[in-house]
Chains A and B, each alone.
Chain A
Amino acid sequence: MRRRFRGVNEWVEHRTGIQSAVRQFLYEEIPASSGWHQVFGSVAMFLFMVQAFTGALLAFNYAPTPGDAYNSLRYILTELTGGRLMRGLHHWGASMIVVVVVLHMLQVFLYGAYKKPREATWMVGVVLLLLTLAYGLTGYLLPWDNRAYWGTVVTTQIAAQAPVLGPYLLRLLGGEGEIGVVTFARFYGLHVLLLPPATIFLMVLHIFLVRKHGVAPLPGDEAQPKKKFYPQQVFKDTVAIFIAFAILFMMAVAVRVPLEQLADPTDTSYIPRPEWYFLFLFQMLKLFSGPLEVVGSVVLPGLAVLLLILVPFIDRGQMVKVTRRGVALAFVLLAAIGWGGLTAAAVRSTPKETLAAAVDFSGPTDWMQLSPEEMVGIAYFRKENCVSCHAMGGHASAEGPDLTKASIHKDAAWMIQHFKRPSAMRPGTSMPPIQLTDAQLNSLAAFLLKLNEKNATALDNAPDFAVQGALLYQTNRCGGCHLVNGGGMRIGPPLNGLSKRQSRGWVEAHFADPAKMVPGSIMPPYKLAPKDLENLTSYLFALPD
């Protein structure tokens, strides 16, 4: 048995030479000074492989078109076992790879390892850094939530500012007019088809160059006897890789990656923010205005990249000890302070709302659980400006009683009578009669019966689109055929979980002509104004499953 195994081994070795190639790779001679400071390159390569692996797994359950992209990602997160972990690994892996690539670069820079004859290795490395950032930029759009959409709007507009090339870049990215299917397809194509082979090619070239010139020794190290790459340095690389992976895995498990609302090009309240490693560029842009803006958006970053590429040609001295590279150290410190300061300023200027904008799909928020009728009550509650006299918990100075207190909630019939003639039910009250129809008062009462101390803030914050959407739902009598949150009829399909079943575009087209989208449908067409259509669709999409 053992002899046969050796026979197979010899055959493979003779025909392919793989074993001697691996041996040659592992037993490469490295300087005696090699050690822990040189592990970052291996960690970066490992993280790239994790990204490729998790990226492919995500792609197995992902539809790369706007709308569907969002729904399929939501499917990955909520329906598939391990889906949240895969996305977490891919998301945090992207951040981590940026960190590790920069650490790798800092090490090489501080040690002066880019010096002759290793200039080409350094330059290929700078291009690899740019590719890493390009993944971040293109991948940012792929969830197609508000964050993705608005971030990309800004990105493409910045690209458009580039001198001479701007308009062409914009056209290449499909960003003329609005961000839509074309931009999405291009970003996806870049992210999964073009960037990976380019990265692999440059990584191979980078490693080839490292091997060609040998790992950079410390000065005075040349005379020392060399050691082998395997197993000592491989062990150190492996330990570093394991630590990096452990951190990544814990983040993927513990830190939830948000998926915000479906991208909404009409959402004027959304404040876009780029990924954290781009925040310094974002903040720097604020320092320039008017015709100078292009300096902050294109010229300075372009010059920085050029400077980075040219580092080996600017600093051409002999290799010296790290401790004597004061200028390089000062340079790194200056860059770190600049980056840190800009990033901190950007974080401080980020309003809290955008941080809290993520929709929590684990449990429906309070307003999502209301029936359309109760939601409509909120509309009248706001229209009649009830809070001008009534407290909603907290404010004791209000004239009328606190509406969140359960003790003042009578039954609906009492409330409707009270709304019509307040003094008849509560003699001496200063409340004016409410001028609404019975059906409208009914909705108002339905809402007030649901109100309590715990949900008051949440219900008070129910977004306007949802309230308006519910109002449209009510006035068009959708509940005569459909079911929402357990109320209504079962003639048509229940509408909870609609966002999981259909895209926004489909639903909007369906309103205009149901029979065209679902042959044989008995639903009549609804000609809604664009704003109404949007509110109603958004409301239905926000319903819990």
Chain B
Amino acid sequence: MVPPSEDEGTSRRNFYVVAIYGFWAAISAALGLPALVYLLFPPKAKKVDEWIEIGDIGRLALNSPVEMTFRRTRVDGWKVISEKSTAWVVKGAGDQVTAFGPQCTHLGCAYHWEESKGHFLCPCHTSLFASDGKVVAGPAPRPLDRYQTRLNGNRLLLGKLESPEKKS
């Protein structure tokens, strides 16, 4: 076998190297991009916005938050589950009713109302919220999230949970 000349050998070698990288790049892209789409795109299932009736608020005292529990159905992956959920409901002046989501806006712990001190306390990192949801102290970055509310006589209906800051 006659050894190829130096130049010819190098250019053929370069071709091999470029082709190897090219093929592997194509394979990685054809596998990697669909994988990212598969993992990151949300499922197609449409979410239905429905109002859930959670109870009678006729007996609530003014500015005294009460935890109300209710059941809601939620799409959870390949299932629709029925789960217990809660809201902290506060009746303000002039028939105004606010329902807060039950999780602290810092890292999602469950907070509670301290009747004697008159604020919401999150036990994890001692965030404090006023009865209107505003941050009083602690690491919480934003006021408590609120459910959309609707009244049907004295019956309270809850809609989507959203942050009051996003709305404004």
Could you tell me which A residues sit within 8 Å of B by CB distance?
A: 32, 50, 53, 57, 60-61, 63, 68, 71-72, 74-75, 78-83, 85-86, 89, 224-225, 231-232, 234-235, 238-239, 241-242, 245, 249, 493, 500-502, 518-520
Contact = CB atoms under 8 A, between A and B. Distances in A.
Contact of A57 (B19, B39, B80): B39
Chain A at the B interface: SS class: helix
Contact of A72 (B27, B34, B45, B77): B77
A15 B160 CA distance: 56
Interface in B1-51: 1, 13, 16-17, 19-20, 23-24, 26-27, 30-31, 34-35, 37-39, 41, 43-45
B43 A80 contact: yes
B48 to A, nearest CB: 10
Contacts of B27: 241-242, 245
B71 interface: yes
B16 A241 contact: no
Given A80-B41, A231-B16, A242-B27, A75 B34 contact: no
* Residue among B1, B26, B39 with max Cβ neighbours from chain A (10 Å): B39
B45 A82 contact: no
Contacts of A61: 77-78
A81 B23 contact: no
A79 B43 contact: yes
A241 B23 contact: yes
Contact of B45 (A53, A63, A79, A519): A79
B82 interface: yes
A32 B44 CA distance: 55
B38 A57 contact: yes
Contacts of A232: 16
12 contacts: A57-B38, A71-B79, A75-B77, A80-B44, A81-B37, A83-B38, A231-B20, A238-B23, A241-B27, A242-B26, A245-B27, A502-B80
Contacts of A239: 19, 23
B85 interface: no
A247 to B, nearest CB: 12
Contacts of A242: 23, 26-27
A520 B71 contact: yes
B19 A235 contact: yes
A81 B16 contact: no
B148 interface: no
A121 to B, nearest CB: 26
B30 to A, nearest CB: 6
Given A68-B78, A74-B78, A235-B19, A81 B71 contact: no
Contact of B35 (A63, A68, A75, A86): A86
A75 B16 contact: no
B16 A234 contact: yes
B73 interface: yes
* Residue among B30, B41, B44, B78 with max Cβ neighbours from chain A (10 Å): B78
B77 A57 contact: no
A519 B17 CA distance: 66
Contact of B71 (A50, A224, A502, A519): A519
A32 B35 CA distance: 40
Nearest to B80: A501
A53 B38 CA distance: 13
Contacts of B41: 80-82
A519 B34 CA distance: 41
A78 B43 CA distance: 9
Contacts of B26: 242
A400 B13 CA distance: 82
Contacts of B17: 231
A520 B13 CA distance: 75
A85 B34 contact: yes
Contacts of B30: 245, 249
A493 B16 contact: no
Contacts of B71: 519-520
B82 to A, nearest CB: 6
Contact of B78 (A53, A63, A249, A493): A63
Interface in B50-91: 71, 73, 77-80, 82
B38 A500 contact: no
Contacts of B38: 57, 80-83, 85-86
- Which 9 A-B residue pairings sit nearest by Cβ, starting from the closest? A75-B78, A82-B38, A501-B80, A231-B16, A81-B41, A79-B43, A235-B16, A242-B23, A82-B34
Contacts of A78: 44
A41 to B, nearest CB: 17
* Residue among A53, A79, A234, A518 with max Cβ neighbours from chain B (10 Å): A79
A78 B78 CA distance: 10
